[in-house]
Chains A and B, each alone.
Chain A
Amino acid sequence: KAGVTQTPRYLIKTRGQQVTLSCSPISGHRSVSWYQQTPGQGLQFLFEYFSETQRNKGNFPGRFSGRQFSNSRSEMNVSTLELGDSALYLCASSLELAGHTEEQFFGPGTRLTVL
Chain B
Amino acid sequence: AQSVAQPEDQVNVAEGNPLTVKCTYSVSGNPYLFWYVQYPNRGLQFLLKYITGDNLVKGSYGFEAEFNKSQTSFHLKKPSALVSDSALYFCAVGSSASKIIFGSGTRLSIRP
Contacts and interface: CB of A to CB of B under 8 A. Distances in A.
B96 A100 contact: yes
A102 B92 CA distance: 12
Contacts of B12: none
A105 interface: yes
Centre residue among A45, A103, A106, A108 by max chain B CB count within 10 A: A103
B105 A104 contact: no
A11 interface: no
Interface residue range, chain B: 20 to 34
B82 to A, nearest CB: 23
Contacts of A48: 99-100
A106 B103 CA distance: 16
B51 A100 contact: yes
B43 A109 contact: yes
Contacts of A35: 102
Interface in A54-89: 55-58
B100 A108 contact: no
Interface in A87-115: 90, 92, 99-109
A24 to B, nearest CB: 14
Max chain B CB contacts within 10 Å: which of A58, A101, A108?
A: A101
A21 to B, nearest CB: 15
30 contacts: A33-B100, A35-B102, A41-B104, A42-B104, A43-B90, A45-B102, A48-B99, A55-B97, A56-B99, A57-B99, A58-B99, A90-B44, A92-B44, A100-B32, A100-B51, A100-B94, A100-B95, A100-B96, A100-B97, A101-B32, A101-B97, A103-B46, A104-B36, A104-B44, A106-B36, A106-B43, A106-B44, A106-B45, A107-B43, A109-B43
Interface of B: 32, 34, 36, 43-46, 49, 51, 90, 92, 94-105
Interface of A: 33, 35, 41-43, 45, 48, 55-58, 90, 92, 99-109
